[in-house]
Structure 1
C-alpha cells in the first residue's frame, strides 16, 4: 500500500476514535480542555522545533503580508458568495458569515498534515504566514465587529482603546506567537535545535509527537452537523474553497511558481477551516446586547457556530485528499478542475432554492388569480 494512503487511513482512524469517544467525553469543558492542550503545548512546541530546524531568512517576512492580503480578498468576496446562496448580507446571519468566512484556523485544520506530508520547512513557512492571519482575525475583524455593533463612529473611545490594548496583549502572549518570536530570535543568533540542551530538545520533541493524534481526535469530538441550514452552509463553504483554488491557480500562473511543495503549502493553508476568534468576537457582542436587552441583534451566534462545526471536517477532508494525492494538485489544471467541481456542487443548493422559490411564487400567483376570478364571477352573477 502507498505510504501516503496508509498515513491518510491512519489519520481517518484517529478521527473515528474521536467520534467514538463522544459518548465518553463531553463536548463542553473536556473538549475545550483538549483544544487548549493542543494550542498551548503541542502546536507551539511543534512550530518551535520546525523553525529551529530550518534556515530562516528575510523572505519569510513576506508570508504574513501575503496571508493578510488573502484574508482581505476573501473578506471582500464573501458578500458576493452570501448573496449567491440567498443570505441577506445585512442580516445577523450575513454579518456572522462575513466575519467567519475570511478567517483561517490552520492550527487545527492544516498544520498537522503539512508537517506529516511536507515536512518541517513547509511548517515553518506556514507558521510565519499564520501571523498575518492572526493579526487579521484578532484585530481587524474585531474592529469590523465593533463598527457593525455601534452605529455611531464616536463611541466609547476609552473603552475601545483599552480593548485594543487587551487584544494586542492577547496576540503577543499567545503561546504559538511567543514560541515563533523566541525561535526567530534564537535562529538569528545561529542557535539551532542541535545546540539546545538535550533535556529541552527531548521535551519539546515529545510534545510535538502528540500534536497530530490530539488534533485528529479533537476533530472527531468537535464535529457537529446540524440538519438546519446544513445545505446552505455547505454550499457557502464549498464556494469559498472553489474561489480559493481559482485564486491560487491565478497566482501560480501570473507569478510562474514552479516549486511544487510551495504550491501545496499555499493550497493547504488557504483551505484551512474558519477560525474560532471571530466567533469569540460575535459571542462577546451578543452577550453585551443580551445583557442590554437589545432587540436588533448584530450577530447570530448559532449560525456562526454551525459554520465552524461544518467548516472543520470539510477543510480537513479537502486538505488531506490534496496532500495524499502527492504532487497531483501542484499543477494548475488539477487545481482548476477541483475548483470547478467544488463550484458546481456548491451551486446546486442555490439553484434548487431559486427554482422552489419561483414555483412557490407562481403557485401563489395562480391561486390569487383564481380567487380574483371567482370574486369577479360572483359579482357578475
Structure 2
C-alpha cells in the first residue's frame, strides 16, 4: 500500500477513535484540556524539532507574509459572499462570520499531515507561515472585533481595550509555539542543531512530539458536533472558502512558477486549514461583556462561531486528506483551478437550495398569516 494512503487511513482511524470516545468526555472542559496539551506541548515540540533540523534560509521570512496575505484576501473577499449566502449585512451572524472565515488553524488541521507526509522541512515552512497567521488572528482580528464592539455599543472605554490589545501582544510572544520558534531560530543562528542539544532535552522533546498526530486526530473526532441549525448554510460557506483559497493558491503557483510537488502540497494544505479558535475567543470575550452590560449578545453570535468550528475541522481534514492522496493530480495549477471551481459550484448549489427553502418557508408563513386573518374576519 502507498505510504501516503496508509498514513491517511491511519489518520482516519484516529478520528474515528475520537468520535467513539465522545461519550467518555462528559464536559467541554475535558476536550479543551486535550486541546491545550496539543497546543502547549505536542505542537511546540514538533515544530521545534522541525526548525532545528533545517538550515536557516532567508526565504523563510516570506512565509509569514504569504499567510498574512491569505488572511487579508479572505477577509476582504468574503463580505460579498456572505451576503449572497443569506447573511444580513451588519447582523451579529454576519460579523461573526467575517471574523471567523479568514482565520487559519494549521496546528490542528494541516500540521499533522505536513509532518507525516511531507516531512520536517515543510513543517518548518508551515510553522514560519503560521507566525503571520498568528499576527492576524491575535492582533488584527482582535482590533477589528473591538472596533465593531465600540460601534455597536458606543462604549468609550478605550484605555481598557488598549490594555487588552497590549495583553494580546504579550500573549502572542508568550505562546509556547512562538517562544520555541524564536528559541529555535536563535539557537540555529549561533550554529546549534537539534543533535547538539543535551540528550535529555532531545529525548523529552521527541517524546512530546510523538503525541501530536494521534492527539490532533482524536481531538478532531471529539470536536465533531453537527447541528441541524445553520448546518447547510455554514457548510456552503466553508466549501466556497476552500474553493477561494485553492484559486488563490493556484494563482500563486502559476505566478511564481512553482513546480516542486511538495511545495505545492504544503501550500494547499496550509491554505485549506480549518478556521481558528482565536477569533472565537475574541467573540466569546466580547459577548460575555455585552451580556453583563446589556443582558444579551449584540456585536457577535458565539453559537454561530462554535457551529462553524465544529464543521470546519472535519471538513478541512477531509479536503486536506483528499489533496494529499492525489499529489500528482494536484501539482498542476489547472487541476487545482478545476477542483476550486467544483468547490465553488457545490457551495453555490447549496446556497441556491438554502434560498429556495427560505422562499418556500416565507410563502408558507404568509399563507398561514392569511388564513389566520380570514378566520379572524369571520369571527
- Bigger Cα Rg: 1
Displacement of 1:279:
0.3
Displacement of 1:262:
1.3
Are residues 304 and 365 of structure 1, via their aligned partners in 2, closer, same or farther at CA, if it must alter by over 3 Å? closer
In the alignment, what sits opposite 1:172?
173
Are residues 13 and 194 of structure 1, via their aligned partners in 2, closer, same or farther at CA, if it must alter by over 3 Å? same
Count how many residue pairs are aligned between Structure 1 and Structure 2: 372
Please list the CA deviations of residues 312-339 of structure 1 after superposition, one character each: whole Å capped at 9, or x if unmatched: 0000111111112233211112211211
In the alignment, what sits opposite 2:10?
10
Are residues 24 and 139 of structure 1, via their aligned partners in 2, closer, same or farther at CA, if it must alter by over 3 Å? same
Are residues 8 and 88 of structure 1, via their aligned partners in 2, closer, same or farther at CA, if it must alter by over 3 Å? same
Displacement of 1:27:
4.2
Displacement of 1:61:
1.0
Between the aligned partners of 1:359 and 1:21, the Cα distance in structure 2 is 40
Between the aligned partners of 1:26 and 1:158, the Cα distance in structure 2 is 40
Between the aligned partners of 1:91 and 1:367, the Cα distance in structure 2 is 27
In the alignment, what sits opposite 1:240?
241
Please list the CA deviations of residues 84-130 of structure 1 after superposition, one character each: whole Å capped at 9, or x if unmatched: 21111310000000000000000000101100010000000000000
Please list the CA deviations of residues 349-370 of structure 1 after superposition, one character each: whole Å capped at 9, or x if unmatched: 2212333455567788999999
Is the CA contact 1:64–1:132 (under 8 Å) kept in the aligned structure 2?
yes
Between the aligned partners of 2:291 and 2:368, the Cα distance in structure 1 is 42
Are residues 327 and 26 of structure 1, via their aligned partners in 2, closer, same or farther at CA, if it must alter by over 3 Å? farther
Please list the CA deviations of residues 50-80 of structure 1 after superposition, one character each: whole Å capped at 9, or x if unmatched: 0000112221111111111111110001111
Displacement of 1:160:
2.2
Displacement of 1:38:
0.6
Between the aligned partners of 2:174 and 2:369, the Cα distance in structure 1 is 64
Is the CA contact 2:11–2:217 (under 8 Å) kept in the aligned structure 1?
yes
Normalising to structure 2: TM-score of the pair? 0.93
* 1:105-116 to 2 correspondences below 5 Å: 105-116=105-116
Please say which of residues 332-341 and 208-217 is displaced more in the overlay: 332-341
In the alignment, what sits opposite 1:276?
277
In the alignment, what sits opposite 1:83?
83
RMSD across aligned C-alpha pairs, in angstroms? Answer: 2.2
Between the aligned partners of 1:341 and 1:308, the Cα distance in structure 2 is 23
Are residues 296 and 44 of structure 1, via their aligned partners in 2, closer, same or farther at CA, if it must alter by over 3 Å? closer
Displacement of 1:154:
8.4
In the alignment, what sits opposite 2:50?
50
In the alignment, what sits opposite 1:102?
102
In the alignment, what sits opposite 2:348?
347
In the alignment, what sits opposite 2:263?
262
Is the CA contact 2:287–2:297 (under 8 Å) kept in the aligned structure 1?
no
In the alignment, what sits opposite 1:59?
59
* 1:1-381 to 2 correspondences below 5 Å: 1-151=1-151, 155-294=156-295, 297-358=298-359
Are residues 367 and 304 of structure 1, via their aligned partners in 2, closer, same or farther at CA, if it must alter by over 3 Å? closer
